[in-house]
Amino acid sequence: MRIIFTAAAAAALMIGTPALAKDMHCNVNKDFAPMIDGKEVKSGGTTYKFKVKDTFKGVPDSVSTSDYNGFVNIKFGAERTTSKSVNVQVRPRKSSECLNGVYDDNKKQIWGGAYCDTSNHKKASSLTLRKSDANPALYIAAGAATTTSKQNHLMGLYTLQGSEYVLSGACVENK
């Protein structure tokens, strides 16, 4: 009996549990917020759960993640584009946490170095917009930024309006 119980317990452990979603805190267009708040989406093999922290109206020149993350601040600035490539800008939030790399959702480095300026964003190369499986109106530019001690997931959120992708939000991992 003891052997059967042990085998059953081992089998239960091998089944595994689903990976936890990365909590993403977002600054999004007010009209877009109800479509994503509390929702989960997958990108690049990672599951993300959105929490709307702030909203804005219209289409601003850029959208930032404010102070939602203690390590990096993320900014997307192409408010309207016809290209599926969008630029991301990143800066460290603390001088002790220098920015060391920015990666796309395929884990390919798009910028590397040592950047410790907490006042100005470093422009990385482009991220590719991908259509969301969970919401057909949503396009996501996902990636990650590494600092001295942390990896921080990031996202730009876009909606398709006519032939243009319109910046609808910016998210960063809750850390």
CB 41 within 8 A of CB 133: yes
Q: Are 78 and 128 in contact (CB under 8 A)?
A: no
Q: Name the domain count of the chain.
A: 1
Q: What pLDDT, on the 0 to 100 scale, is given for residue 29?
A: 95
φ/ψ of residue 98, rounded to 5: -65, 150
- How many whole angstroms separate alpha carbon 170 and alpha carbon 88? 10
- Tell which phi-psi region holds residue 95, choosing left (phi > 0), alpha (psi between -120 and 50) or beta: alpha
Q: How far apart are CA 92 and CA 98, in angstroms?
A: 6
The whole-angstrom separation of Cα 155 and Cα 90 is: 12
Kindly report the pTM of this predicted structure.
0.85
Positions of E strands within 1-129: 22-29, 40-43, 46-56, 63-64, 72-76, 80-81, 85-92, 99-104, 109-115, 122-128
CA distance 78 to 42: 23
Q: Kindly state whether residue 12 falls inside one of the protein's structural domains.
A: no
pLDDT number for residue 16 = 36
Predicted pLDDT of residue 19: 60
Rounded CA separation 71/46 (Å): 20
Q: Mind listing the pLDDT tens digit of every residue in the chain (175 residues)? A: 444 433 333 333 333 334 688 999 999 999 999 989 999 988 878 899 999 999 999 888 889 998 999 999 999 986 789 999 999 999 999 989 999 999 998 999 999 999 999 999 999 988 999 998 777 788 999 999 999 999 999 999 999 989 999 999 999 999 9
What phi and psi, each to the nearest 5 degrees, are found at residue 104? -85, 180
Per-residue b/e over 105-124, b at no fewer than 16 CB within 10 Å? beeeebbeeebbeeeebbeb
Domain containing residue 58: 18-173
Written as six digits, the tokens of 153 are: 């997931």
In a domain, 167, yes or no: yes
Report the distance separating Cα 3 and Cα 25, nearest Å.
Answer: 47
Is the Cβ–Cβ distance between 175 and 70 less than 8 Å? yes
Q: Is residue 45 part of a domain?
A: yes
Cα 148 from Cα 116, distance rounded (Å): 10
pLDDT of 7 reads: 36
Residue 164 domain-assigned (yes or no): yes
